[in-house]
């Protein structure tokens, strides 16, 4: 292996560039799913939050109407601050009952 000439046809080089290509595609996918934020805060839409909590959008509306879940209304759009949702879930956490 001393003075061996390595070209683009070498399997090690091909493997290296294939790994770089997979990494590049994975990063593209990751960044395309990234939520935008405002001052470090991210927001969920009705659809996103209902999927994340595994409840219907109608249940979210009921929770809003009952004052059980904080939200922001911008025009006709409802948004939920991620930190509010995390806090609400933590406050609702109960240890198992025995």
Q: What is the pLDDT of residues 4-38, one digit of tens each?
A: 777 878 888 888 889 989 988 888 877 666 666 67
Q: Give residues with Cβ within 8 angstroms of 13, minimum separation 6.
A: 6, 7
What local confidence, expressed as pLDDT, does residue 37 receive? 62
Answer whether residue 1 shows pLDDT above 60: no
Residue scoring higher pLDDT (51 or 35):
51
Answer whether residue 39 shows pLDDT above 80: no
- In the chain, the domains with their CATH numbers are 1-34 (no CATH), 37-91 (1.10.10)
Here the tokens at position 59 are 């249940």
Note the pTM of the prediction, 2 decimals. 0.58
Distance (Å, whole) CA 29 – CA 93: 33
Distance (Å, whole) CA 78 – CA 40: 19
What local confidence, expressed as pLDDT, does residue 35 receive? 62
Residue 13 has a CB neighbour count (10 Å cut-off) of 12
Cα 72 to Cα 31, 40, 81, 84: the distances in Å are 26, 17, 8, 11
């Amino acid at each position: 292996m001393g003075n061996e000439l390595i070209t683009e046809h070498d399997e090690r080089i091909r493997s290296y560039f294939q790994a770089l290509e997979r990494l590049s595609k994975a990063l593209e996918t990751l960044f395309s799913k990234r939520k935008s934020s405002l001052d470090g805060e991210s927001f969920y839409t009705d659809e996103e939050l209902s999927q994340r909590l595994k409840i219907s959008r109608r249940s979210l509306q009921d929770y809003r109407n009952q004052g059980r879940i904080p939200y922001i209304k911008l025009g006709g759009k409802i948004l939920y601050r991620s930190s509010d949702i995390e806090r609400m879930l933590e406050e609702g956490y109960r240890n198992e009952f025995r």
